[in-house]
A and B are shown apart, each in its own frame.
Chain A
Amino acid sequence: MHRVTQKMVVDNFQANLNDIFLRLAKVQDQLASGQKLRRPSDDPLGVNRALSVRSSLQLNDQFLRTIDLSKTWLDTSDSALSTISEVLQRGRELAVQGANQTLTPTDLQSMGDEAAQLVGAALQAANTNLLGAYVFSGTKTTTKPFGDLIPPPPPAYPGGPGQPVVAGGGLYGYNGNSGATSQMQREIGPNLHISINTTGDQLVSALNALVKLRDDLQSGISSAVSADIGSLDAGIDQVSQLRADVGAKVNRFDFAEERLKDFQLQLTKFLSQTEDVDITKAASEFALEQTVYQTALKAGASAIQPSLLDFLR
């Protein structure tokens, strides 16, 4: 026959109580913190997954931040290109008007003054600066892309000799860099890069078409002005092409942003499933453990107390 002593009952009671209380404390800790993963040994696999999801979430946030900044850059580029495009359109109108043989040189020269304004506006747009960085300089962001005039070539305008070369005449040269090394690559997904910048070398001919128009108008030679229409058209086409590229990139960024936001929601949900306590489940578990604890206390109190001695006189 198995003997049961008072000490065994007490020891068992203490061990069980300790066990129940440990479980109760664990559920309580989960409820209070809202987290079911408190340390790696709670669920090694779950913790690994949680860490992985956390890292992905941060990366995702980072990509979204990059997209935000990149879109600002692209928008700035686009609005500058839009200005240049409008200026070129106006330049073309002036050129078409100026090609009219009936205009006097004085008329042409006053149109030339407007063309000079247009050159200034185009130049300002081409030198657009976003937070200390020139947008069209390639990666030489601290260098003004268009500032210095290349010394004017010998006056060889078809207007002929005797016509003065306009003061400050000459063509604009590009000071930034170009080609593969000038591209600003932005990462919008793991190892997915898109270049966000438009280099100013692609604007040189359009700008100089305007300069030439100005010079030709100011020289007052309408036949020369007529010849400028073609180069202005080419400039307009070129800038439209650049704007189309920028637009396409904005679309890609928008698309990526949408996808990343979707992914962010999924990740957040997944992380919550991995890390967070199911409140309903934990609360009912807590209630259950509480009941078990109280029952154990009650049972212990009545089992431990009496012995034969209580009934001996």
Chain B
Amino acid sequence: MSISLGLNTAVRALITQQQALNTVAHNIANANTPGYSRQDVQLITTEPFTLPSQNRSALAGQIGTGVTIAQIRRLRDQFLDAQFRLQNQALGMQDAVAQGLHNVEDFFNEPSNQGLANEISQFFNKWRDLTNDPSNQASRLSLRAQAADMTSFIRGAAVQLVQQQQNLDQQVLGKVDQINSLAQRISSLNDQIGKVLAVGDTPNDLRDRRDLLVDQLSRIVRITAFEDDRGNENITLGGTQLVGQNYVNTMKTQLNGVTGFRDLIWADNSAVNVTGGEMRGVLDLRDTTVAGILANLNTLAAMLLNAVNAQHQLGHTLNDTTNNSLNSATGISFFTAVAGKEAATIDVSADILADPNNIAAATNPNAPGDSGNADAIASLQFQLLMSGGTTTMEDFYRGIISTLGSQGQQADNQSANQLLLVQHIDTSRQAISGVSIDEEATKQIEFQRGFEAAARVVSTFDSMLDTLINHMGAGR
């Protein structure tokens, strides 16, 4: 048994403690790095040395040869990762929906004295003002101005809703780019990790980076991800593989001729099935929520146009005291709009704009004080014209607003709940993977002391060798 055995043991200890300290330093350095999992040095004893002896029983069996690092592992719970990603996609979806709905709420500006509810109610009240004084120019001008305000509000809302849809369409495009870029990066990390694993190392930091990218992807779109036995992250999106071993799919967009917006397709032109994440939220907003509000606004504008025009055409104007009509069959229209695009195009008709006397306030010809028709138009406010004869136009509009409100409220609540859930899961992940400075400081002391002690052992062996070499035998 040589002294150099002990010296070797001590030197190995020095190296091992130093490497462990390196890992402590790495952990401390990355305490605030997103996605970082703390690393843990697993120490094991090196192979013991069996002393060669002819008579085994006289000696102890094996001599320890010191310590070495078995592996440096990262502490991470794959199950929590899957949980996190599942809830993160729901958070992304609710957040996107809540934000979109708040934008829509903003331009309806209710409840206030500047909203459409107010415009509609004022519109009918101006007809009542005209009823009180049908031959008065001021009443006619003020009614016409109110009608112009109301129609311009409706058109403005329609334009903003369409713009909102276009913004959402742009967001879809942006998210497709993000998805493709993340998929590419995950795939190239797959390659790198594969190479590291092939030489028997543990690619902790690369895995952390890959997991972070998968986390980011999970917010944008709902995915399922698992790591196969060769270390490849396999990601499927709505039943289609996005990333696999040496494989990346590409998401593309294709303009839909009917909707005018972009549909999502894969590289092989098959449809993308988006089931969650911000992308689902944005698509839902674009294709269902905002489109629905726009359709409702259109229904309202069409009813306003048709009901007011139908009644208006029955009346008599101040100009034509015998027969109100420029065209004797139909009478004068109060509103005009392009059929099917009422909300976007509704306006006061050219006849009314040309001359306020063309407002047909009278039921009977040749009667400037007759305001029967103005009264009939005002009473359209109470008629159950909408939703199959169950609601008034005002009720219908209020329905649009309260539905928007309920959806917004629901999305807010769900997004808040979802955020709590995601935070909770992330806390659980942090409990396992997060770096604790106190813990690392403790380990630092531990390994430092270990290093110091090993160094002391080295110097002890040194002095032993000194004794042997310099203070013994004939050499003195």
Q: What is A's interface to B at a CB cutoff of 8 Å? A: 2-8, 11-12, 15, 37, 39-45, 47-48, 50-52, 54-55, 58-59, 61-63, 65-66, 69-70, 131-133, 137-142, 177, 181-182, 184-187, 190-191, 193, 197, 275, 307-309, 312
Contacts and interface: CB of A to CB of B under 8 A. Distances in A.
B385 to A, nearest CB: 15
A141 B408 CA distance: 53
B110 A59 contact: no
Interface residues of B, number: 70
Contacts of A275: 111
A309 to B, nearest CB: 5
A266 B372 CA distance: 31
A132 B436 contact: no
Identify which of B125, B362, B366, B378 gathers the most chain A CB atoms within 10 Å of its CB.
B125
Interface stretch (B160-168, B238-246, B283-291, B437-445): B437-445
B409 interface: yes
B441 A39 contact: no
Contacts of B133: 69, 131, 133
B369 A55 contact: no
Across the A-B interface, give the 10 residue pairs with the lowest CB-CB distance, nearest first: A40-B405, A141-B369, A41-B408, A44-B405, A139-B370, A5-B434, A139-B367, A48-B402, A139-B369, A308-B441
Contacts of B136: 131-132
Contact of A177 (B106, B367, B372, B411): B367
A62 to B, nearest CB: 4
Contact of B132 (A40, A55, A186, A307): A186
A132 B137 CA distance: 11
B408 A184 contact: no
A40 B375 contact: no
A312 B445 contact: yes
Contacts of B405: 39-44, 47-48
Contacts of A41: 101-102, 105, 404-409, 411-412
Given A43-B405, A62-B129, A140 B369 contact: yes
B437 A6 contact: yes
A67 to B, nearest CB: 10
Interface stretch (B56-64, B80-88, B114-122): B114-122
A3 B436 contact: yes
B409 A37 contact: no
Given A39-B105, A54-B118, A54-B121, A7 B445 contact: no
Nearest to B371: A184
Contacts of B124: 59
Contacts of A181: 363-364, 367, 370, 372
A193 B408 CA distance: 42
Identify which of B122, B375, B382 gathers the most chain A CB atoms within 10 Å of its CB.
B375
A66 B110 contact: no
17 contacts: A3-B436, A3-B439, A6-B435, A8-B434, A11-B423, A39-B408, A40-B408, A41-B405, A47-B405, A51-B110, A52-B398, A55-B394, A59-B381, A141-B369, A184-B370, A185-B372, A197-B369
